[in-house]
Chains A and B, each alone.
Chain A
């Protein structure tokens, strides 16, 4: 940003910042989904860019309780350090009744639907409890704010998977969180759909133009703190994509730092293998697209 010419990362950064600011200007009840993974952490960093060091909206994490434990520790550390308005939601009923895939009761897709899509839908709507970090005590408390979020910022990238390649920057969701792929709003130049009917909400996708490689190049350039799960810590394995531990497997890789990951993606062993190949739920019938139509991130 400090040179006189813009390179590719400068351009996609500027576009993402522009989108974040449009969202902040237009949506009173705005929230950002933070999955703790590299993409949404870059998104969080871009918010700090857009708002000059501040993050003027809550960060929402959907905690399935099956996340790799290091992820939660990392989340709370950053939330404290950056003074984030940190909120999480959870499908308590399903977890208490143990109706989950790890408990052997349902298949992977149904588990995703219950612990992620359902939990997300009700956390956004505010009709299930939201747990908000109290920065004085460092503990989570039930959030008094139960107003539905009408603008939800999500870190989806177009190159991740087929259905994501059809998203808009500003993409409407109906009352049931459903996505109508066949009837999407036009998006002309830099004018987005920022108007929405009562009861509907808009998903905002500032990272749509970023590739997995761009994400890592940017992490490297900006020196963004990322959870260690992405790095090989001596076992010859690392996570390429983070999710719930029963459904996410690490890949064989000896990349120990960001520079090595960038190299691996640019010309090394992963330059031609899809990122989500370690995610088991994508491989079941319907996979991610079915989940997305029903409100999955």
Chain B
């Protein structure tokens, strides 16, 4: 397989009508990359319809695109140089289709930025230049096109070049080349043009061939975002495999690893694969899987790191640059879904630092929301801690998208973590308690009357471990003893789907929130409230505890290790005998003075 050729993705961007499609058509034709007969077919079609032939027609694979005469969506074409194969991604120049441009550009390793020599620099010339830097594309060549229309004037070329380079330097972008071309006439496309003897630099094809492929990040700190945990039992397979892709670095059997944000540690026992020869290492770029020395309970989304290396940040707040694509502006206080590496968490826009007009590069500090096509520097707050890196350190774990109403509506890069004590949940609880109109009956009076203190008992663990059975038996026992007790069995799936939508991540949070608020009212009324919740993690239990404040919460973990020990008040084994489980919880209630028989106010 040594004769596999190198491949590079190149995106072509620029203002509408500045000639991107013609550049691609020319490259395909002049490198001999068109399928046999294609050029003749298109020329014949033009002749039939009495239209002059244009190289851009080679790309017009779709009908409505021809009708409108503009590229709607990114399309891929393939061409070859002697050095390597290129996939050229044609990105639309029209502002309406910016999200399509971004999609094309996000998978590119290099960019050709086309500017019309006749029209000069336009809004999207700047916007696209900015987006290339936002997306992290390092290899950029600027093509000043349609030089034939300005009589191949060096003066015009130099003036556009100077103006555009000045703009790029403001956003710290240095292009590799600025090339005067005429795609229609084929000047400086694959070889030097005789029309512009004053230009001594590379042709486009030469420029592309000098772009270097970015080396795989083998040397960076190891990052393995967990996609899933598999246990396929078919054919007697008893492996429990943590699957994902190594984004950066390398790891080997025997290395100690840490999962973040849960902070669980383990040791690599094996690298798993199918139809591969046995291996003890995994490197950046590989989609692979691992088994571990000891049993492991983690969730998809965690980042596995080498315990001996610098860890990613774990926080709920970070400073970002966001690019917004939805017609609905991004507003404060609304729950969105954040997808970063393989983590999905609810997120809220906490603070807008400034909004940048990408075409003019002027900053607007006073905006209260982020509108479509804005680039904003802002602070986001997730409702659970996430693990991440600064985009300048490790890009794969430093960029994210935002989802609203089933759609990806924003993309962003993380500039820095923000560590602050305040949080949305804490602020909410603080405000709620400040504004709560207190009953005249104090908790102490209630405790005296009911002969017990109030508490929330949360029984958590994996599905089908007998949580509900235990919860109901406990309720019954306490009830028989005359305690003021209630089992709250609200379903995981909220009845009011209209409000919550069918987003699993946001629904889960909504459920926790609802449970916490109800618990707060019922424990405030002096109840012993029992509830069960499947597969809660540390962060969710902490939110629940916070929402139930200032009232007491007791957490009981059923089954194998899921949550951290400092959060757990009592540990029960899975499918324990009901009576035994109830009596252990009962002892806990006594110990924690909810039911102290000697209890006196």
A144 within 8 A of B: no
Closest chain-B Cβ to A194's Cβ sits at a distance in Å of: 8
Do A6 and B216 form a contact, CB below 8 Å, given A193-B407, A193-B408?
yes
Q: In the complex, what residue of chain B is closest to A159 when comparing beta carbons?
A: B78
B74 within 8 A of A: yes
| A residues less than 8 Å from B107 (CB atoms) | 187, 189
Closest chain-B Cβ to A79's Cβ sits at a distance in Å of: 14
Interface string of B220-258 (1 = CB under 8 A from A): 000000011010101101010101110000100000000
B411 within 8 A of A: yes
Closest chain-B Cβ to A29's Cβ sits at a distance in Å of: 13
On whether the beta carbons of B62 and A7 are closer than 8 Å, the reply is no
Binds A, one of B187-195, B285-293, B563-571: B285-293
A272 within 8 A of B: yes
On whether the beta carbons of A289 and B232 are closer than 8 Å, the reply is no
- Interface set, chain A 186-204, CB cutoff 8 A to B: 186-191, 193, 195-198
| B residues less than 8 Å from A138 (CB atoms) | none
A163 within 8 A of B: yes
On whether the beta carbons of B36 and A272 are closer than 8 Å, the reply is yes
On whether the beta carbons of A2 and B61 are closer than 8 Å, the reply is no
Q: In the complex, what residue of chain A is closest to B341 when comparing beta carbons?
A: A190
Count A-side interface residues using an 8 Å CB cutoff. Answer: 61
Closest chain-A Cβ to B275's Cβ sits at a distance in Å of: 6
On whether the beta carbons of B283 and A4 are closer than 8 Å, the reply is yes
On whether the beta carbons of A189 and B77 are closer than 8 Å, the reply is no
On whether the beta carbons of B399 and A83 are closer than 8 Å, the reply is no
- Interface set, chain B 334-351, CB cutoff 8 A to A: 337, 339
On whether the beta carbons of A222 and B287 are closer than 8 Å, the reply is no
A221 within 8 A of B: yes
Q: Roughly how many angstroms separate A256 CA and B226 CA in the complex, as a whole number?
A: 43
Closest chain-A Cβ to B246's Cβ sits at a distance in Å of: 9
Interface string of B1-12 (1 = CB under 8 A from A): 101111100000
Q: Roughly how many angstroms separate A240 CA and B285 CA in the complex, as a whole number?
A: 32
Specify which of A9, A184, A211 is in contact with B73 (CB 8 Å cutoff).
A184
Greatest chain A CB density within 10 A among B35, B227, B276 is at B227
| A residues less than 8 Å from B78 (CB atoms) | 159, 211
B403 within 8 A of A: yes
Do A10 and B286 form a contact, CB below 8 Å, given A51-B232, A54-B237, A185-B407?
yes
Q: Roughly how many angstroms separate A11 CA and B4 CA in the complex, as a whole number?
A: 12
| B residues less than 8 Å from A195 (CB atoms) | 337, 403, 406-407, 503
| B residues less than 8 Å from A166 (CB atoms) | 61-62, 73-76
| A residues less than 8 Å from B339 (CB atoms) | 191
B368 within 8 A of A: no
Q: Roughly how many angstroms separate A188 CA and B243 CA in the complex, as a whole number?
A: 22
B389 within 8 A of A: no
On whether the beta carbons of B61 and A289 are closer than 8 Å, the reply is yes
On whether the beta carbons of A52 and B276 are closer than 8 Å, the reply is no
Binds A, one of B97-105, B177-185, B419-427, B442-450: B97-105
- Interface set, chain A 259-283, CB cutoff 8 A to B: 266, 272-274
- Interface set, chain B 343-369, CB cutoff 8 A to A: none
Q: Roughly how many angstroms separate A168 CA and B100 CA in the complex, as a whole number?
A: 10
Closest chain-B Cβ to A32's Cβ sits at a distance in Å of: 16
Do A168 and B103 form a contact, CB below 8 Å, given A4-B281, A52-B274?
yes
Do A50 and B287 form a contact, CB below 8 Å, given A274-B35, A289-B62?
yes
The secondary structure that dominates the A interface is loop
| B residues less than 8 Å from A122 (CB atoms) | none
B325 within 8 A of A: yes
Interface string of A205-236 (1 = CB under 8 A from B): 00001010000010001100000000000000
On whether the beta carbons of B287 and A17 are closer than 8 Å, the reply is yes
On whether the beta carbons of B235 and A52 are closer than 8 Å, the reply is no
B277 within 8 A of A: yes
A158 within 8 A of B: yes
B152 within 8 A of A: no
On whether the beta carbons of A158 and B76 are closer than 8 Å, the reply is yes
On whether the beta carbons of B408 and A185 are closer than 8 Å, the reply is yes
A182 within 8 A of B: yes
Closest chain-B Cβ to A163's Cβ sits at a distance in Å of: 6
A162 within 8 A of B: yes
Q: Roughly how many angstroms separate A22 CA and B235 CA in the complex, as a whole number?
A: 24
Q: Roughly how many angstroms separate A181 CA and B60 CA in the complex, as a whole number?
A: 13
Specify which of A18, A187, A217, A222 is in contact with B4 (CB 8 Å cutoff).
A217
Q: Roughly how many angstroms separate A15 CA and B246 CA in the complex, as a whole number?
A: 11
Closest chain-B Cβ to A33's Cβ sits at a distance in Å of: 21
Do A2 and B408 form a contact, CB below 8 Å, given A21-B227, A25-B227?
no
B309 within 8 A of A: no
A56 within 8 A of B: yes
| A residues less than 8 Å from B1 (CB atoms) | 7, 9, 217, 221
A246 within 8 A of B: no
Do A14 and B285 form a contact, CB below 8 Å, given A9-B4, A165-B61?
yes
Q: Roughly how many angstroms separate A191 CA and B1 CA in the complex, as a whole number?
A: 31
Minimum-distance CB pairs A-B, first 3: A162-B61, A17-B287, A186-B99
- CB pairs A–B below 8 angstroms (21 shown): A1-B273, A6-B284, A8-B4, A14-B286, A22-B227, A48-B275, A51-B274, A52-B237, A54-B230, A54-B237, A159-B78, A165-B77, A166-B73, A181-B73, A182-B72, A185-B103, A189-B107, A189-B401, A191-B411, A195-B403, A222-B275
Q: Can you add 12 more A-B contacts, CB < 8 Å, to A5-B283, A8-B6, A193-B408?
A: A4-B281, A6-B284, A53-B232, A54-B234, A166-B73, A184-B73, A185-B407, A186-B103, A186-B411, A189-B411, A191-B401, A196-B406
